[in-house]
Amino acid sequence: AAKEAGEPFRWYDPELDRSAGEDARIGAELRTALDAGHLRLVYQPIVELPTGRLIAVEALVRWHHPERGLISPAEFVPVAERDGTIVELGAWILHEACRQAAIWRTGDDTDAPQRVSVNVSARQLARPGFAETVRAALTGNGLPAAALTIEVTETAVFEGGRSLETLHTLNEMGVRIALDDFGTGHSSLTLLQTVPAHALKVDKSFVDHVTAGGRPAVIAATLIKVADGLGMAAVAEGVETAEQAAELHRLGYQLAQGYYFGRPAENPVVVRQRQPAAIP
Ligand code: C2E
Ligand code: CA
Ligand code: CA
Ligand code: CA
């Protein structure tokens, strides 16, 4: 399993305001890229603490541009969101992630991921047909609904349209829902009352400082209690060090994700797995 290639190439200056014309050009290129097979998914491990056992993977999209090299989703997903390409792109991502997950689940490798998380953006979620797109991806690939988690951000849920209604439909279908980048939006706690969510993904900004004490550490310690109290799972995002992993475990976190455990890859590998016997 190849480690992910180096830092994605920056093809425009993010400081510059791009024109609508430029967005349209990137959107058109993106559609061509999709047809040409230049978009790929990589998968990052979500592990159990403290063993590092693989629980699930998060699918993350990559654009391998023939001239510009690897382009980060942080650059093209927002453009695709603005010009609407995300609807087509997102449907492909869902289908592809479900296809791969079904292969892993039915294969011989007992260490293969059994569950997959897919990021869904505001515009996708707000579309009337979204729940049907998910259903088609599941049935078309023979993947049970419980093997799929949809990751949505707080802002996406509040985008309006049918977002909330759709989340309820997905929940009834048996699909799991995770609130992504939790704690960075503006109404996180309100959201917990209305969204049928199964998991909180505690944002990296809290995890980064969890060993330093101070406010981020207090927030990380509080969010795990909130999740526990609501019967939800909590995933600590962006774990990069053994110290962070140990502290998160001490706080009560049972799930984590980050470079420390494994980078996104076409064939994800947990690099810091421990045998239960080795745990002090
Ligand atoms: P996200 O959903 O919060 O995904 C986590 C991001 O953090 C990923 O960046 C991942 O590679 C990175 N990451 C994971 N562990 C670590 C760590 O330990 N340290 C550091 N520094 N970073 C870590 P990536 O793949 O560049 O994706 C960026 C964002 O682009 C995602 O943030 C998500 O919002 C969006 N995105 C990615 N793939 C998709 C997709 O398929 N659909 C949609 N709608 N959005 C996507
Ligand atoms: Ca995510
Ligand atoms: Ca996140
Ligand atoms: Ca993020």
Q: What is the DSSP string of 11-56?
A: -S-TTSPPPHHHHHHHHHHHHHHHHHT-EEEEEEEEEETTT--EEE
Whether residue 121 has its Cβ less than 6 Å from ligand 1: yes
SS3 content of the chain, % helix, strand, coil (to 5): 45, 20, 35
Query: How big is the CA angle at 85 (ends 145 and 144), to the nearest 5 degrees?
Result: 5
CA 22/CA 7 separation, integer angstroms: 23
pLDDT of 274 reads 83
* pLDDT higher than 80, residue 279: no
> Residues 6 or more apart from 57 whose CB is under 8 A from it?
43, 44, 45, 46, 113, 115, 116, 117, 268
Answer yes or no: is the C-beta of 60 below 6 A from any ligand 1 atom: yes
- Token pair, residue 239, equals 């774990």
> Hey, what amino acid is at 31?
R
Q: Which residues surround ligand 4, an ion (CB under 5 A)?
A: 181
- The answer to whether residue 64 scores a pLDDT higher than 60 is yes
pLDDT in tens, 181-208: 998 887 678 889 999 999 999 999 999 9
- pLDDT bin (cut points 50, 70, 90) of residue 79 is very high
The reply to whether ligand 1 has any atom less than 6 angstroms from the CB of 52 is no
pLDDT of 3 reads 44
- Atom 28 (ligand 1) nearest CA: 74
Could you tell me if the CB of 149 is within 6 A of ligand 1? no
What pLDDT was estimated at residue 278? Answer: 53
Query: Is 4 exposed, middle or buried, given 0-12, 13-18 or 19+ CB atoms closer than 10 A?
Result: middle
Kindly report the protein residue whose alpha carbon is nearest to atom 23 of ligand 1: 238
Distance CA 268, CA 113 (A): 8
The residue-averaged pLDDT of 220-234 equals: 97
CA atoms of 69 and 179, how far apart (whole Å)? 31
Is the pLDDT score of 9 beyond 60? no
| pLDDT confidence band for 265 (50 / 70 / 90) | very high
Question: Pairing state of beta strands 54-65 and 39-48?
Answer: antiparallel
Mean pLDDT of 100-105: 97
What pLDDT score was predicted for residue 1? 38
Average pLDDT over residues 66-77: 93
Whole-number average pLDDT of the chain: 91
Cβ of residue 240 lying under 6 Å from some atom of ligand 1: yes
pLDDT over 50 at 240, yes or no = yes
